[in-house]
Amino acid sequence: MKKIFLSTAIALSVLSLNSCDRSFEEINTDTSKIKNPSVGSFLVPIQYEMGSYGYNRSDDFTFDIMQVALAFPNEGATVSRYYLTESTGNGYWNTSYKWLKQVKELNEAAKKENNNNYLAISKVLNAWIMANLTDAFGDVPMTEALRLEENIMKPKYDKQKDIYTFLLNDLKEANSLFDTTKTLSEGDLFFQANSNVAGIVKWKKFCNSLSLRLLTRALKKNGELNINERITEIVNNPTLYPIFQSNADGAVVSSTPEQFNAALQANAAQYLRDLHADSLSQIHHASVKAFAGLPDWMVAYNYPQNVNKDGVIIPGNPDEHNRVLPQPVFP
């Protein structure tokens, strides 16, 4: 009996020693996740998530508060009646910082792989999102934001002037980093720069057009930020600082000419009346290539119950505001 007990004890000891050879880190490692993602894999999720959230936010908040398009009937404590709470901006705040974290990781991966195009794009995306944040909320965390791994749990709020100064300088650096002889290694929903170097040129145009947007918003601070000088520098040097010249340069999803013409013919009377046109030939439409893989609802909207009374009557209610555009358009 003693021998059996002793043998069992020895066996258990051996098993326990073997089990201790594996560390907790090894046991808790999720082998299904990518540990070292490529730099290109960061881009599309940022584009899709921020693009789709921005569009939906326009639909359910901006359109209401600006009285562009309202639900019908419109009653109760709604944004369109300027009923705002302390949590009204939470969604945009949280979503922006969530994806700014991935922009930061894109930036770090680009530096690690020595890829200047992705590094430049990370700076443009950071400026795009951060500028919208400070325009919406004023002073916001930037320099200490997204640094939880450094135990910064309560980041300081940077002054809007300092944020604008940083973003403008960062955009200028981004413009100098773009290499228009090289394509991106992976997908690009905005400009398809993974398949054509012309897409990189459009990224440069986005970069410099965004700079102009920030500069014009700060025109009254010319003495503090040299606004006029920087605008002149961009506008007078189109080779060095290319900018958007038309809708063809932008990231726009629209209908094909065939779809537009079909909708035009089906609703000819409404278009002629609303646009004060004598014939359908006077109604112009510019068709552009859609993003690969993006649904139309992300960037095209048909404005039901719009306050301008544009479009055709929605069946079931003859009210003049109960209209919808027969063909979705870019907001």
In tens, the pLDDT along 141-179 reads 999 999 999 999 999 999 999 999 999 999 999 999 999
**Position 81 confidence tier, pLDDT thresholds 50, 70, 90:** confident
**Position 214 confidence tier, pLDDT thresholds 50, 70, 90:** very high
Q: Is the pTM of this model over 0.85?
A: no
Q: Where residue 224 sits, what CATH number does that domain have?
A: 1.25.40.390
Q: Which two tokens stand for residue 10?
A: 């020895």
Query: Is 22 part of a structural domain of the chain?
Result: no
pLDDT at 46 over 80: yes
242/190 same-domain check: yes
49/171 same-domain check: yes
Query: Is 143 part of a structural domain of the chain?
Result: yes
194/277 same-domain check: no
189/306 same-domain check: no
Instruction: Give the domain extent around 212.
Output: 39-78+88-249
* Per-residue pLDDT reduced to its tens digit, 124-148: 999 999 999 999 999 999 999 999 9
pLDDT at 331 over 70: no
Query: Is 33 part of a structural domain of the chain?
Result: no
Question: Which of 209, 215, 214 lies closest to 228 in space, CA to CA?
Answer: 215
205/308 same-domain check: no
Which range (176-190, 233-247, 297-311) has the least confidence?
Answer: 297-311
Give burial (CB, 10 Å; 0-12/13-18/19+) of 314: middle
Q: How many domains, in total, are found in the chain? A: 2
